């Protein structure tokens, strides 16, 4: 089924570019110098985004990132891009949207996943029917397996089990990324961070547990969509995560400013939502096909990829570690972007998947620049944590001596009416450095 919608029917694309820009500025001043590149999507998906942003007041960047994640999740292991012999990539993205409380991050993240949620509900109903039949005829029927896709509260072992049931792939969905990160050691004496670093690479994962046997996922594909508040970024950068490469795998979206939208009378054209859902139906129809079908770059796209990769190396080769380490992971992401954009275009326009075109790679460079811009913005914020710290952190930093103890910090906090719980939490902020048991010093910023 074709899912194209006539553009002029829903949006006047004949408007002058300057008029469109001015209209957008009136609505959303986020990332003025580097807005989310909407033109990476086919027109039908652009309509879906603009209609829902206009109707429901979502931030366009948050919503667009969620759309990208939803497609990456649905496509999963269907197709892999062969960058060159021995190197393949899949549409596996780890996206984190960053804003303040009340910015509507969670709602913007949820809606684009509705087609996947609907399929999960259908799958659950079918599973219950098959299970009932199995319980009546255990000798002749096969024990059914429920295929979930969206994972919200789980252990690493449960994640592997669910991926074993659904080899196409999963998506970790976290309203607050710190809830997921803090759970790395929740049910185990050791952190699972290294296991998640392996998952990001999309390679084979093997889990062996006494009593449950061994689970092997030959080609894992687990996407991530998560949110966090600007005030909690320091928690994400705490400990060894800034050194392990974990944070370099995250794609951040952090709008510069988000204008709240008042309740309005705007409505979304249901045809546009149906069109969006139909694209996912086209993807779901291919779930019975062999997974991991390999597609190449077109000759022209591969030449462009070589040039772009060299440009990344030349740009960051002599940069500070915090930037060069990010660039190393982004050299992988550019190929994932290109594959995802190509597949979205193919499934939106009923085109046979053949290769990744030069057009898709050029669009991928736009997406690359968007996430690079946001990644650098995050790292710049963290390089001067004092300017972005909460008021209570700033007050403690100002009043405490250069070196101090925990008890001294708690006394200062009490004097300025900061609770001991908040004070202890402030001590793990990046403006203080632990020197030993109960001993701290202030980080000096230039």
Statement: residue 266 has pLDDT above 70: yes
User: Would you say residue 3 has pLDDT above 60?
Assistant: no
Q: What percent of the chain has pLDDT over 70?
A: 86
227-264 pLDDT, tens per residue? 999 888 888 887 667 677 888 999 999 998 787 888 88
CB-count burial class (<10 Å; 0-12, 13-18, 19+) for 107: middle
pLDDT at 23 over 90: no
Concatenate the DSSP letters of all residues of 80-122 into one string.
EEEEETTEEE-S--EEEEEE-TTS-HHHHHHGGGHHHHHHHHH
- Name the least confident of 102-111, 128-137, 230-239: 230-239
Which run of H or of E encompasses 310? helix 299-316
**Contact yes or no for 358/301 (Cβ under 8 A):** yes
H or E stretch at 200: helix 193-200
Q: How big is the chain, counted in residues?
A: 446
Give me the domains of the chain, ranges plus CATH numbers.
38-255+269-383 (3.40.50), 391-442 (1.10.10)
pLDDT tens, residue by residue, 319-330 = 555 567 788 889
Cα–Cα–Cα angle for 98, 154, 237, nearest 5°? 35
Question: pLDDT category, 32, cuts 50, 70, 90?
Answer: low
Residue 169: left if φ>0, alpha if ψ -120 to 50, beta else—which one? left
List, for residues 185-201, the tens digit of each pLDDT value.
666 655 688 899 999 99
Q: Please say whether the beta carbons of 31 and 373 come within 8 A.
A: yes
């Amino acid at each position: 089924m074709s899912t194209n919608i006539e553009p002029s029917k829903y949006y006047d694309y004949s408007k002058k570019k300057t008029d469109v820009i001015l209209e957008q500025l009136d609505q959303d001043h986020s990332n003025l110098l580097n807005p989310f590149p909407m033109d990476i999507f086919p027109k039908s998906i652009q309509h879906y985004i603009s209609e829902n942003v206009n109707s429901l007041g979502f931030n366009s960047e948050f919503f667009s990132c969620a759309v990208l994640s939803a497609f990456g999740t649905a496509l999963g292991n269907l197709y892999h891009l062969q960058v060159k012999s021995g190197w393949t990539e899949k549409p596996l993205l780890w996206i984190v949207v960053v804003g303040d409380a009340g910015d509507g991050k969670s709602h913007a993240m949820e809606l684009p996943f509705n087609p996947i949620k609907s399929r999960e509900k259908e799958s659950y109903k079918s599973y219950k029917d098959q299970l009932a039949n199995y319980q009546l005829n255990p000798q002749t029927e096969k024990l059914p397996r429920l295929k979930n896709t969206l994972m919200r509260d789980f252990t690493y072992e449960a994640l592997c089990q669910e991926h074993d049931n659904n080899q196409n792939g999963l998506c970790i969905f976290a309203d607050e990324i710190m809830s997921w990160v803090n759970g790395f050691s929740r049910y185990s004496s050791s952190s699972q961070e290294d296991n998640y670093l392996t998952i990001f690479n999309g390679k084979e994962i093997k889990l062996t547990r006494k009593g449950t046997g061994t689970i092997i996922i030959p080609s894992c594909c687990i996407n991530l969509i998560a949110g966090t508040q600007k005030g909690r970024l320091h928690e994400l950068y705490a400990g060894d995560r800034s050194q392990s490469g974990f944070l370099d795998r995250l794609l951040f979206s952090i709008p510069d400013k988000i204008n709240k939208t008042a309740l309005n009378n705007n409505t979304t054209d249901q045809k546009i939502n149906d069109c969006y859902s139909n694209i996912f139906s086209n993807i779901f129809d291919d779930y019975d096909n062999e997974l991991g079908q390999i597609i190449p770059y077109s000759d022209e796209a591969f030449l462009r990829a070589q040039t772009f990769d060299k440009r990344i190396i030349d740009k960051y080769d002599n940069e500070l570690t915090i930037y060069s380490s990010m660039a190393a992971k982004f050299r992988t992401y550019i190929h994932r972007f290109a594959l995802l954009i190509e597949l979205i275009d193919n499934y939106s326009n009923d085109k046979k998947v053949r290769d990744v075109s030069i057009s898709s790679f050029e669009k991928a460079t736009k997406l690359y620049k968007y996430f690079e811009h946001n990644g650098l913005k995050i790292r710049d914020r963290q390089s001067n944590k004092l300017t972005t710290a909460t008021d209570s952190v700033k007050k403690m930093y100002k009043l405490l001596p250069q070196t101090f103890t925990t008890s001294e910090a708690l006394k200062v906090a009490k004097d300025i009416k900061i609770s001991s719980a908040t004070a202890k939490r402030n001590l793990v902020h990046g403006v203080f450095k632990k020197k030993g048991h109960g001993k701290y010093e202030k980080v000096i910023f230039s």
